[in-house]
Each structure stands twice: as structure tokens, then as C-alpha cells.
């Protein structure tokens, strides 16, 4: 039952924030903040309560679960379930949710109520994606998070918001519909084989598929997730959407929406189609490495602060893709840790971009220089997260990427070496960012206010979490472990070939 609350609090909170926003914008903000904090606390309690027994969780044994009939005509269930992977991603969701509300406190000044409605409903959709175990419900949540996200970009975004929002919507919608076709193909194949109409994840796992069918259906899923992830060459919506979105929108996009793609690959593509995924792995891993290098190089070439950070996402998520398709425990753990760490560090960089834009009304780095002298605290925080992004040992990103590289080494040395070059490229773009924006002489003679209390309150927890992930990742790793084990069991089961 607790799972429905996680979603309901956001939906109801969003509606309440909208209604109240007509009279008081401050009340609207406080409601949104309260809703996200409530959800975060709930997930934290779930984590603490189950922490002791995490290691004994076995296959198909969920921490929390909820299963209602929804549309019996098609065998559709309202089935939510939580395991270690979903739990940590949900915590990330609500953590970044709190950050998004706080960061919009001063930035968003028009239609405040409607803004929070959209923000909380995006989060609700994302929570639905991380929890759904019925493929129809998954698709429902997957599509539902698009509409509020579209509004976030289209209404509160920057100069080219129309273009960016429509591009974002079209890309994700088309790929989503391909996934719908794939889901239906799987559904009817399952029915032909077993006589049961069901969208249940655990039942579909055992669908016998001919290798051609598995290949095509897998591809349908893969494209949908690869667009969200994003994997090169399906990434072109990302720099536009991330750059044009308001700060909260960028944080949610980079921190969470991209993770839904990775989550889908991890939860659905490989376990549902182990054979086809195995065949496809070399292609996916090459795409991943191309993404790592290409994203890094493009990031290096940007002059727009947000666009630079956006391209680093392409690069970092390449590591996630690499880890998932390397498919051994080290690599999978690495991919999962990268998902969390990237959410925090890139989210924080977008927050900093937002703070700069608020103060300077530009994102152009050629107009920034020597900001350290006028905003030492903000610049220090930026340096910290840039170091996180380049994979400095001791911070979360390092742990994730290191594990991915270790895991990939067992599968392909060439790709590992190339991916390691990607880490090097990260050093270039991250340091260049710091150097151009914050170091040097303050030639434009900026006099800007440093971080205020609210902004410190946003960034300090992010710094702490990133340090914690880097220095003591064990709790996170051991929470992921049972999920990774059971996913591997699914994926390594004997493949039933359809006649």
C-alpha cells in the first residue's frame, strides 16, 4: 500500500499546489516542498527498515508490492513493486525533486502553481516508471511523464523553448510508440504460447520466442530506451531540451528522465530477451563507447554552460549503457552507481548553471571569466561538481565508472581502453569549464552576490551525498546487489525457443 502513497502524494500535492497557487505562490511552493520531502522520508524509512534483510532477498521477492486488477479485459494489472534498484532510484527521484522545488523558489515567478503541478506530476510519472511491473502500466507512466515535462520546457524554458520542447516530445513519443508495438507483440506472442493474456513482467519473462521475434521485439524496446538514455545517434533532442529547460526541468531531465532509459534496459531489455540482448551486446557497447567519446568531445567544444553540461550527460550515460551490456556483476553495479552519481553531480551542475543565469542572464562562457573573485562559494561548489563529473577518486562518479571499466575489461579490452580515453576527455572539458568560467581575471567586471542560504541548502546535501557515494559506497552497492543477482538469474536462464 505504501507504494501507491508515493505516487498519490505527488499527484495530490501537485493538484493542491496548482489550486493554492491562485492565491498564494508561497503556499504553492511549500506544498510542493512538503510533498517531495514526505516522499523522500517514506523511501528513506523503507530503506532503513529493509536494510538488514536486503541480502536475503531472493529472485522475485520484492521489498514492497501492490497488485490490483486494472483493466481485466486485457489482463492489465496495476502492479507496483519495489526492489533495491527501484528503491535507490526513487530516493534519487525525490531527492532531486526537493532540489528542483528549492531551485525554482526564486527562478520561477509566473504561473507558479501550474509549474509545481507539472513538476510534481513529472516526478509521479518517473516514480511510476521505476515501480511498474505491468508492462502496460509501465508504458502508461512512461508516456505520462512526457506531457508535464513538455509543459515545463515549453512554458518556463529559455529562448528556443518551443523548438526544444516539440523536438523532445516527438522523439520520445515516436520511440515510445515503437515500444508499445513491441510490448503488444510480446503480449500476443505470450498468448499464443500459453493462452494467457497478460502484461505481467514476471510472467512475460518466460515467454518462448523465436530468435527473430526476440530480436525485433528487443529492438523495439531498445530504441525507446536508447532515445531516453540517450545513446548516439538518438541523442539529438537532449542538448536542446536540457539547454532550453528551466533549471528544475534540466535537473529532472538529466538527473531522472535519462535514468528511466537506463532502468528500462536493465529491468526489461536484457532479462526479457537474454538471447537477443547477448547478440546485440557488441553493437550496444560500441554505441556506448562512441557516445562516451563523442559526448565528451562535443562537450569540450561548447561555449554555452548548459549545453556543455548536457553533452557530458551523453558521455556519462554511455558508461551506463556500456555497463549494462557488459552484463556482469561488477559492470552492472557500476552502471547503477553511475546512474545515481550522475544524477547528483550533473543535477548540481545544472543548478549552478541556473544560479549563474539568474545572476548574469547569460549562459555564454565567453562572457564569464574570473567569477571566483566575486562568488567564491559558488565557484568552489562548481569546481567540486566538475571534479565529480571528471571522475575524481573519492567522489561518486569515480566509483561507478571505475566499476564499469573493471567489468567491461572482462568482456572487451579494446572497448575498455577506448572508454578510458573518455575519462580523459572528461578531464579536459570539466577543467576547461572551471577555467573559462571561474578562473582568470574578472575581465567583464562582474559584481555578483554569492550563494544565499537557500542555495547553500541545495548544494550542501548534494556535496555530502556525492562524497558519501565516493568514499563509502557499500550501503548503495549492497542494496543493488540482490537486484543485480536476480536480474542476472533471469538473463542467464535457459532460453526457450519457440517452434
As given in the structure block, the three cell numbers for residue 61 are: 521477492
DSSP letters for 38-72: HHHHHHHHHHHHHGGGGGG--TT--SEEEEEEEEG
Shortest Cβ 25–other proteins spacing (Å): 15
Shortest Cβ 72–other proteins spacing (Å): 7
Shortest Cβ 74–other proteins spacing (Å): 7
Cβ neighbours, 10 Å, residue 55: 12
Shortest Cβ 110–other proteins spacing (Å): 9
Which CA distances in Å does 446 have to 128, 265, 375, 450, 454?
44, 46, 10, 12, 22
134 beta partners: 200
Q: Which is nearer to other proteins, 40 or 171 (CB)?
A: 171
Which helix H or strand E contains 376, and what residues bound it?
helix 376-390
Shortest Cβ 247–other proteins spacing (Å): 19
Shortest Cβ 411–other proteins spacing (Å): 33
Do residues 247 and 350 touch, judged by C-beta distance below 8 A? yes
Radius of gyration of the chain (CA): 22
Q: Which residues contact 306 (CB under 8 A, 6 or more apart)?
A: 242, 243, 250, 350, 353, 357, 363
Q: Which is nearer to other proteins, 165 or 379 (CB)?
A: 165
In 327-367, where does DSSP find H-type helix? Answer: 329-360
Shortest Cβ 158–other proteins spacing (Å): 14
Interacting residues toward other proteins by CB under 8 A: 71-74, 111, 139-140, 143-144, 146-147, 150-151, 154-155, 162, 165-166, 169-170, 173-174, 177-178, 180-181, 184-185, 187-188
Q: Which is nearer to other proteins, 173 or 328 (CB)?
A: 173
Do residues 246 and 103 touch, judged by C-beta distance below 8 A? no
Q: Which is nearer to other proteins, 173 or 279 (CB)?
A: 173
Q: Which is nearer to other proteins, 76 or 399 (CB)?
A: 76
Shortest Cβ 337–other proteins spacing (Å): 32
Q: Which is nearer to other proteins, 133 or 426 (CB)?
A: 133
Q: Which is nearer to other proteins, 74 or 472 (CB)?
A: 74
Do residues 444 and 368 touch, judged by C-beta distance below 8 A? yes
Which CA distances in Å does 440 have to 128, 285, 360?
46, 39, 18
Do residues 178 and 218 touch, judged by C-beta distance below 8 A? no
Q: Which is nearer to other proteins, 40 or 136 (CB)?
A: 136
Shortest Cβ 438–other proteins spacing (Å): 34
Cβ neighbours, 10 Å, residue 344: 27
Helix (H, G, I), strand (E, B) or coil at 445: coil
Helix (H, G, I), strand (E, B) or coil at 418: helix
Q: Which is nearer to other proteins, 62 or 169 (CB)?
A: 169
Shortest Cβ 263–other proteins spacing (Å): 18
As given in the structure block, the three cell numbers for residue 410 are: 572482462
- Please choose, from the candidates 280, 293, 295, the residue with its C-alpha nearest in 3D space to the C-alpha of residue 325: 280
Shortest Cβ 286–other proteins spacing (Å): 26
Q: Which is nearer to other proteins, 168 or 480 (CB)?
A: 168
Residue ranges with strand state E in 62-209: 64-71, 76-82
Alpha carbon distance 363, 357 (integer Å): 6
Alpha carbon distance 103, 107 (integer Å): 7
Q: Which is nearer to other proteins, 72 or 494 (CB)?
A: 72
Do residues 289 and 318 touch, judged by C-beta distance below 8 A? yes
Do residues 190 and 198 touch, judged by C-beta distance below 8 A? yes
Amino acid at each position: 500500500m505504501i507504494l501507491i502513497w508515493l505516487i498519490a502524494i505527488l499527484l495530490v500535492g501537485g493538484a493542491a499546489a496548482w489550486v493554492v497557487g491562485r492565491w498564494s505562490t508561497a503556499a504553492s511552493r511549500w506544498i510542493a516542498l512538503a510533498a517531495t520531502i514526505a516522499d523522500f522520508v517514506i523511501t528513506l524509512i523503507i530503506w532503513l527498515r529493509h536494510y538488514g534483510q536486503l541480502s536475503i532477498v531472493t529472485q522475485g521477492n520484492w521489498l514492497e508490492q501492490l497488485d490490483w486488477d486494472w483493466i481485466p479485459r486485457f489482463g492489465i494489472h496495476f502492479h507496483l513493486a519495489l526492489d533495491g534498484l527501484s528503491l535507490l532510484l526513487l530516493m534519487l527521484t525525490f531527492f532531486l525533486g526537493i532540489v528542483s522545488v528549492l531551485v525554482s523558489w526564486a527562478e520561477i515567478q509566473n504561473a507558479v502553481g501550474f509549474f509545481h503541478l507539472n513538476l510534481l506530476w513529472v516526478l509521479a510519472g518517473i516514480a511510476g516508471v521505476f515501480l511498474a511491473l505491468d508492462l502496460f502500466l509501465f508504458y502508461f507512466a512512461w508516456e505520462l511523464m512526457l506531457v508535464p515535462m513538455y509543459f515545463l520546457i515549453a512554458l518556463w524554458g529559455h529562448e528556443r523553448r518551443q523548438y526544444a520542447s516539440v523536438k523532445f516530445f516527438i522523439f520520445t513519443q515516436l520511440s515510445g510508440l515503437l515500444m508499445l508495438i513491441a510490448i503488444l507483440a510480446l503480449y500476443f506472442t505470450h498468448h499464443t504460447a500459453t493462452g494467457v493474456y497478460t502484461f505481467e513482467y514476471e510472467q512475460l519473462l518466460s515467454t518462448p520466442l523465436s530468435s527473430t521475434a526476440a530480436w525485433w521485439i528487443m529492438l523495439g524496446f531498445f530504441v525507446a530506451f536508447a532515445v531516453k538514455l540517450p545513446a548516439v545517434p538518438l541523442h539529438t533532442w537532449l542538448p536542446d531540451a536540457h539547454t532550453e529547460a528551466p533549471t528544475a526541468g534540466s535537473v529532472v531531465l538529466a538527473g531522472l528522465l535519462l535514468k528511466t532509459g537506463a532502468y528500462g534496459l536493465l529491468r526489461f531489455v536484457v532479462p526479457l530477451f537474454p538471447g537477443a540482448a547477448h547478440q546485440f551486446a557488441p553493437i550496444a557497447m560500441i554505441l556506448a563507447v562512441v557516445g562516451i567519446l563523442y559526448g565528451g568531445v562535443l562537450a569540450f567544444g561548447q561555449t554555452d554552460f548548459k549545453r556543455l553540461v548536457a553533452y557530458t550527460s551523453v558521455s556519462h550515460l554511455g558508461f551506463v549503457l556500456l555497463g549494462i551490456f557488459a552484463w556482469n556483476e561488477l559492470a552492472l553495479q557500476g552502471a547503477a552507481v553511475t546512474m545515481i552519481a550522475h544524477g547528483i553531480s550533473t543535477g548540481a551542475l545544472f543548478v549552478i548553471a541556473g544560479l549563474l543565469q539568474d545572476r548574469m542572464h547569460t549562459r555564454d562562457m565567453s562572457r564569464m571569466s574570473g567569477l571566483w573573485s566575486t562568488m567564491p562559494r559558488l565557484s568552489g561548489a562548481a569546481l567540486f561538481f566538475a571534479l565529480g563529473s571528471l571522475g575524481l577518486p573519492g567522489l561518486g562518479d569515480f566509483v561507478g565508472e571505475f566499476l564499469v571499466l573493471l567489468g567491461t575489461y572482462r568482456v572487451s579490452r579494446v572497448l575498455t581502453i577506448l572508454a578510458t580515453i573518455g575519462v580523459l576527455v572528461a578531464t579536459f572539458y570539466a577543467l576547461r569549464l572551471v577555467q573559462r568560467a571561474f578562473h582568470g581575471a574578472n575581465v567583464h567586471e562582474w559584481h555578483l552576490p554569492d550563494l544565499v542560504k537557500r542555495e547553500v541548502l541545495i548544494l550542501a546535501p548534494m556535496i555530502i551525498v556525492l562524497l558519501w557515494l565516493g568514499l563509502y559506497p557499500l550501503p548503495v552497492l549492497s542494496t543493488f546487489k540482490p537486484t543485480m543477482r536476480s536480474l542476472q538469474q533471469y538473463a542467464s536462464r535457459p532460453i526457450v525457443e519457440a517452434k
